[in-house]
């Protein structure tokens, strides 16, 4: 399988291992992430995804191996690494008592960004939250809270964003909002390292995918490269039925329009 990078590596991981007590969690992980792309770590719960993200974010020391972010060593140059990255965890880290604008203003001040009020207004517009900017974040939908959370992560324009299970607990419509947002960020030049247990999420978003299983990379490559590992299926001549997700999204996207053949709840 061809693993040659076409662009410079924004992140490079070599032989990273980590155990907690006598339990090994990472067993020698290797991969590179090209600048301006989405790299997905796909694995089930307990595969080691969050542990790896915490190591790359300088929150945890590896037992062995090396990792660099924009050529800065994660263990040896943590301050330089932190200036280059931002981390969005599994659950939105917004203050639900504050408004969306106040959340962004607070983060801008903590990061010593010039003109924090102006930055807050710009981020609200950029993430389509300007009309909700003066509402308490506790009143936001799940998708809006996640957008606000990512907006807060991007105050100061860090070039690399870690998204750890970003759509956990979101409804289908909110998931698609987050997916569209990730695409927009990458189109603008942001590098995204995404961890997910959802195969469709990796399939829709990632330029490259690494399958993490029991602390090891089982295989990595583009979607086409990974598909080539299995024999091609025989064509199915039966027209597939729409999925429940297709139906749900069609209904909520056109709530004002009647759906042919639909009954009426009484």
Averaged pLDDT for residues 57-70? 96
Say which residue the tokens 């992560």 belong to.
153
* Count of other CB atoms within 10 angstroms of residue 183: 14
Sequence-distant (6+) residues with CB within 8 A of 73 are 66, 67, 81
> What's the total number of domains in the chain?
1
On whether residue 2 sits in a domain, the answer given is no
Answer yes or no: is 203 within a domain: yes
Contact present, 103 and 95 (Cβ < 8 Å): yes
Q: Residue 193 sits in which domain range?
A: 9-94+140-253
Longest CA–CA separation in the chain, Å: 65
| Residue 228, pLDDT score | 87
- pLDDT number for residue 16: 98
Residue 15 scores a pLDDT above 80:
yes
Structure tokens belonging to residue 158: 């860090």
pLDDT at 178: 87
258 band by pLDDT with thresholds 50, 70 and 90: low
147-151, 229-233, 260-264: which has the highest mean pLDDT? 147-151
Residue of 142 and 48 predicted with greater confidence: 48
pLDDT of residue 264 exceeding 50, the answer is no
3-class state of residue 152 by DSSP: helix
Assigned domain for 180 exists: yes
pLDDT tens readout for residues 98-124: 999 999 999 999 989 999 999 999 999
Q: Is residue 127 part of a domain?
A: no
Please compute the mean of the pLDDT values over residues 137-161 and round it to a whole number. 91
Residue 171 lies in a domain: yes
Q: What residues contact residue 43 under an 8 Å CB cut-off, 6+ apart?
A: 49, 195, 197, 211, 212, 213
Local confidence band at 190 (pLDDT 50, 70, 90 cut-offs)? very high
Q: Report the percentage of the chain scoring pLDDT > 70.
A: 86
Asked if residue 40 lies in contact with residue 206, where contact means CB atoms within 8 angstroms, the answer is yes
Q: Quick one: pLDDT at residue 167? A: 87
- Is 80 exceeded by the pLDDT of residue 261? no
Query: For residue 90, what is the domain's CATH number?
Result: 3.40.50.300
Q: What is the pLDDT of residue 173?
A: 84
- Per the domain annotation, does 44 fall within a domain? yes
Q: The sheet that has 216-221: what strands, in order across it?
A: 85-88, 160-164, 191-196, 38-42, 208-213, 216-221
Q: Give domain status of residue 112, yes or no.
A: no
| pLDDT digit string, tens, across residues 160-169 | 999 999 888 8
Q: Kindly give, in sequence order, each residue whose CB lies less than 8 Å from that of residue 189, ignoring residues fewer than 6 positions away.
A: 36, 159
């Amino acid at each position: 399988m061809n693993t040659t990078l076409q662009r410079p590596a924004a992140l490079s991981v070599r032989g990273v291992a980590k155990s907690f007590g006598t339990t090994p969690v990472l067993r020698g992980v290797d991969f590179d992430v090209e600048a301006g792309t989405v790299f997905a770590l796909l694995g089930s719960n307990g595969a080691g995804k969050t542990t790896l993200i915490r190591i790359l974010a300088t929150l945890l020391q590896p037992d062995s191996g090396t990792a660099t972010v924009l050529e800065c060593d994660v263990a040896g140059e943590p301050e330089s690494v932190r200036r280059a990255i931002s981390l969005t965890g599994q659950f939105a880290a917004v203050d639900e008592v504050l408004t969306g604008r106040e959340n962004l203003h607070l983060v801008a001040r903590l990061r010593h960004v010039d003109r924090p009020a102006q930055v807050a207004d710009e981020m609200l517009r950029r993430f389509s939250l300007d009309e909700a900017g003066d509402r308490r974040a506790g009143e936001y939908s799940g998708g809006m809270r996640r957008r606000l959370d990512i907006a807060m992560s991007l105050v100061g324009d860090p070039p690399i964003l870690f998204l750890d299970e970003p759509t956990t607990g979101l409804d289908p419509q909110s998931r698609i909002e987050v997916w569209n947002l990730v695409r927009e960020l990458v189109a603008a030049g942001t590098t995204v390292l995404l961890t997910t247990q959802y195969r469709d999420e990796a399939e829709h978003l990632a330029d490259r995918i690494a399958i993490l299983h029991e602390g090891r990379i089982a295989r990595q490559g583009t979607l086409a490269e990974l598909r080539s590992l299995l024999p091609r299926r025989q064509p199915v001549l039966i027209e597939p039925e729409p999925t429940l997700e297709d139906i749900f999204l069609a209904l909520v996207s056109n709530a004002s329009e009647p759906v042919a053949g639909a009954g009426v709840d009484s």
